[in-house]
Amino acid sequence: MMRRKSVLAAVIAAVLLAVATGGTALGSSETTSRVASAAAATAGCGKTPTLRSGAQSIQSGGQTRSFILRIPDNYNNTHPYRLIFGFHWLNGTANDVDTGGSSGFTWSYYGLRQLANNTAIFVAPQGLNNGWANSGGQDLTFVDDLVRLIEADLCVDTTQLFAGGFSYGGGMSYALACARATVFRAVAVYSGAQLSGCSGGTQPIAYIGLHGLRDNVLNISQGRSLRDTFVRNNGCTAQNPPEPAQGSLTHVVTTYSGCRSGYPVAWAAFDGGHTPGPVDGSTADDGARTWTKAVVWNFFNQFQSTNDTTPPTTPGTPAASNVTATSATLTWTASTDQGGSGLAGYNVYRVTGTTDPLLGQSTTNSITLTGLTADTEYQVYVRARDGAGNLSANSAFVTFATTSTGGDTTPPTAPSGLAASGTTATGTDLSWAASTDDVGVAGYDILRAPGATGGTFAQVGTSATTSYSDTGLTASTTYRYQVRARDAAGNLSPVSNTVQVTTSGTSTGACSATPTVQSQWGTGYVIQPLTITNTSTSTITNWTVTFTLPAGHTLTGSWNATVTTSGQTVTAKSVSHNGTLAPGAGTTSFGFQASRPNGNTALPTGYTCTSA
């Protein structure tokens, strides 16, 4: 599995128990409604994200802090996703949580990433000095800053934030339960203790604790104490939940009775030591085989947003004020929510006669639009949106004209030499010679029209350089392109020459599928990687693998492919990031886990690969 904290941590823990931490929470007006049952979408919904999966950094509390982000492969910017934090242990790292260590993807984010199957966003923060001392509340502030950053850029359901961690990471998860109970929906504490403080600690939050009877680093009594805090806060009926006998190598999960609706408490005690990945009937610590990941995922997965399908009322007619050459302020009469998910904000659109572009979003009934073009007429309208993503009817239009800059009225020269290269079934690369301007060229607008003739040129992108890659095209389709320059005053050049491209059609290639058994045990196994190799002489853009499970075997999880089963036949199709392979290239991202009857040592057979 993963490199974890040593028994010396018990000494450190004794010191840290005395630490009392604070920190500034996300604004109280923001947090009070976060645990409502209805979805509340964030400002990142509808936006093209700038965040990417992988290592990132952020400024927090005057320091550069790092974290790893995992965005679903099939991310949809109109769908609000769960956001799940995974905290590492003492002397562990964010990378340990993200990769799953020696257990690989099956244990990434304590196994939850595999079970989520591209339905959640995951983040692994990195602790200072590889720990979570939370001095002065700085780690709480770090989490606050991460929440703000992610919600501003990605589509997150604010009622579906979760956190979990092992050992010191469990202490940090407990600190969040204490101090951010109105931000996070639930937490999971694996073998934790009060190591990162407990600022507040009086509000209810859904809580699951997991602890070993023979934990010689953080005694199980410390885990029971954390649990009992939320037994009280959540109004549960006090009890001494059953725990397995020592030597039984089993676990017992107890869900408390009498808890406030929506605030359950669960306790999972197991006959084992200081580990997040115990295996029944064994002393092994194995992320591929542990029961804890399913227990925690099921605990988190019970919380669902309500299905609000009723849109808000229509906003009032917007009024424009403070209009300049590049900006304008709009105000309107507020909408009200009708479906129970809460009013989330407003979208402002410009009328263009085709697809109306989104000019901006606001959480209040006013907005200042910036980046407008000088001496230009704008006709705009407003739509309200609720927490479930429902949009109201359009408001009435308001029309205003930006002022002239009063200075630069000379447009740039037309770009020249527009050419296309590298055209594939789904994209093409454009390049051109730079325009000139008496003041300076600010950028270029890329225009596209369908077909070899006819159709209307519409803007599909902008570029600050003399090149642009247009993606998402349709195979075997003809497009025409033009480019125009613009200067800082909003003056537009004449359009460039027109270039025509025809995307390639899908062509059948050849590929192979080679399985590797990563691990296996009496009742199951993990195939990782199942290597896909392009054996043809041309690039393939997707692949499909089929194989047969032995009788009695059942697929229990897969990653980095879209998988369906029919009887014992499994079909796995590539996803966006691993389907395109150059000749001779391969991908090792796909894998799966299966269960089988105890003692049955058979493995899947009949692997075939087809491609396009």
Q: Would you state the pLDDT for residue 388?
A: 63
Mean per-residue pLDDT, 308-312? 76
Q: Would you state the pLDDT for residue 422?
A: 84
Mean per-residue pLDDT, 418-438? 88
Task: Tell me how far the alpha carbon of residue 446 is from its chain's centroid.
Answer: 30
For residue 318, pLDDT over 90 is answered with: yes
Mean per-residue pLDDT, 256-271? 93
Mean per-residue pLDDT, 528-535? 87
How much of the chain exceeds pLDDT 90, in percent? 46
Confidence of residue 602 (pLDDT cuts 50, 70, 90): confident
Confidence of residue 477 (pLDDT cuts 50, 70, 90): confident
For residue 550, what are the contacts with CB-CB under 8 A and spacing of at least 6?
Answer: 568, 596, 600, 602, 603, 604, 605
Structure tokens belonging to residue 586: 């391969």
For residue 9, pLDDT over 50 is answered with: no
For residue 159, pLDDT over 50 is answered with: yes
Instruction: Compute the distance between CA of residue 99 and CA of residue 85 in angstroms, rounded to an integer.
Output: 14
Mean per-residue pLDDT, 287-300? 92
Neighbours of 42 (CB within 10 A): 25
Mean per-residue pLDDT, 492-509? 77
More confident residue, 400 or 311: 400
Q: What is the pLDDT of residues 565-575, one digit of tens each?
A: 888 888 998 88
Mean per-residue pLDDT, 529-556? 86
Task: Tell me how far the alpha carbon of residue 474 is from its chain's centroid.
Answer: 27
Q: Would you state the pLDDT for residue 211?
A: 97
For residue 405, pLDDT over 70 is answered with: no
Q: Would you state the pLDDT for residue 6?
A: 37
For residue 93, pLDDT over 90 is answered with: yes
Mean per-residue pLDDT, 152-157? 93
Instruction: Compute the distance between CA of residue 340 and CA of residue 345 in angstroms, rounded to an integer.
Output: 14
User: What is the C-alpha end-to-end distance of the chain, expressed in Å?
Assistant: 37
Q: Would you state the pLDDT for residue 409?
A: 73
Confidence of residue 11 (pLDDT cuts 50, 70, 90): very low
For residue 539, pLDDT over 90 is answered with: no
For residue 149, pLDDT over 90 is answered with: yes
Q: Would you state the pLDDT for residue 403?
A: 81
Q: What is the pLDDT of residues 25-59, one digit of tens each?
A: 443 333 333 444 444 668 899 999 999 999 999 99
For residue 324, pLDDT over 90 is answered with: no
Mean per-residue pLDDT, 234-247? 92
Confidence of residue 199 (pLDDT cuts 50, 70, 90): very high
Q: Would you state the pLDDT for residue 30?
A: 36
For residue 148, pLDDT over 50 is answered with: yes
Q: Would you state the pLDDT for residue 520?
A: 78
- Taking a C-beta distance cutoff of 8 angstroms, is the pair 85, 123 a contact? yes
Q: Would you state the pLDDT for residue 28?
A: 31
pTM for the complete prediction? Answer: 0.52
Mean per-residue pLDDT, 485-501? 86
How much of the chain exceeds pLDDT 70, in percent? 88
What is the overall mean pLDDT for the chain? 85
Mean per-residue pLDDT, 535-555? 86
Q: Would you state the pLDDT for residue 21?
A: 36
For residue 22, pLDDT over 50 is answered with: no
For residue 8, pLDDT over 70 is answered with: no
Instruction: Compute the distance between CA of residue 377 and CA of residue 195 in angstroms, rounded to an integer.
Output: 59
Confidence of residue 505 (pLDDT cuts 50, 70, 90): low
For 440-469, b where at least 16 C-beta lie within 10 A, e where not — what string? ebbebbbbbbeeeeeeebeeeeebeebebe
Confidence of residue 462 (pLDDT cuts 50, 70, 90): confident
Which range has the worst mean pLDDT, 182-186, 266-270, 542-546?
Answer: 542-546
Q: Name the 3-class secondary structure at 15.
A: helix
Choose among 89, 91, 85, 213: nearest CA to 140: 85
Q: Would you state the pLDDT for residue 386?
A: 72
- Taking a C-beta distance cutoff of 8 angstroms, is the pair 343, 312 a contact? yes
Q: Would you state the pLDDT for residue 139?
A: 97
Q: What is the pLDDT of residues 53-67, one digit of tens each?
A: 999 999 999 999 999
More confident residue, 498 or 586: 498
